[in-house]
Structure 1
């Protein structure tokens, strides 16, 4: 009986610990959460591109965007570290959602704001993007890319890991 009691206590403890881990690991995005930026190519509706011509591809950089609103304006403070690209230029965009997959999201398209991002000698870059919130916007995400000299696809790209609510 004593063995069953100890076994029951251990099993109960493991269930509680497992449930706590699942709950804690779920993470909820809020408007002021830091948004990780990683090497994933996305379509304008934020869906990930599963097939890409440059696979396998080495992910050389990481970043984070601190996104918040101020009245009817959205602000993204973007910090990137791309250590193998000192002195490189990147185009960076703030894309507002929702957005149908048929709609483009390049510079000048409605609900997008773009600027330049230049890395220093260590491959570090910081930039702030500010844009008016368009009516009905529920979230934003960040797109970072370097132009490709031989085609329209980006040579290097990074995007937010999730859409930040606004």
Structure 2
């Protein structure tokens, strides 16, 4: 263990100092600035003032609890509400008559359903499935000679 320590010390002592880089040291001021000192003094003064406060200097205060009575309008509203509740709870259900409710179901007729299916089929149709087709005209229009010939025949008749 001592050999390692001696070797370590000798390597440190024999280290060439020319290989070290020069650096500038920046001194940091650990002391607080003037505003920090003033803020700290003010805080300490407040704490001491609270600790040394004389409780005997306080005057006794009486608190008045105000419980205002409701006005006449509020009283009438409360009475009406209670009256309605009592009427609902005391209602005689035997005076009611039985009624059958008819629920109408407005389903679309068959023509509307088929129209919707057709419109849906048209909108979802894949045009890529179509093939190109050449149309051959089998009933051509008559040329000028044929028209004139027929005019002559109809005029002579």
- Greater relative contact order (Cα 8 A, min sep 6): structure 1 or 2? 1
Q: If the length of structure 1 is used for normalisation, what is the TM-score? A: 0.15
Looking at secondary structure, tell me which structure has more helix per residue. 2
Q: If the length of structure 2 is used for normalisation, what is the TM-score? A: 0.16
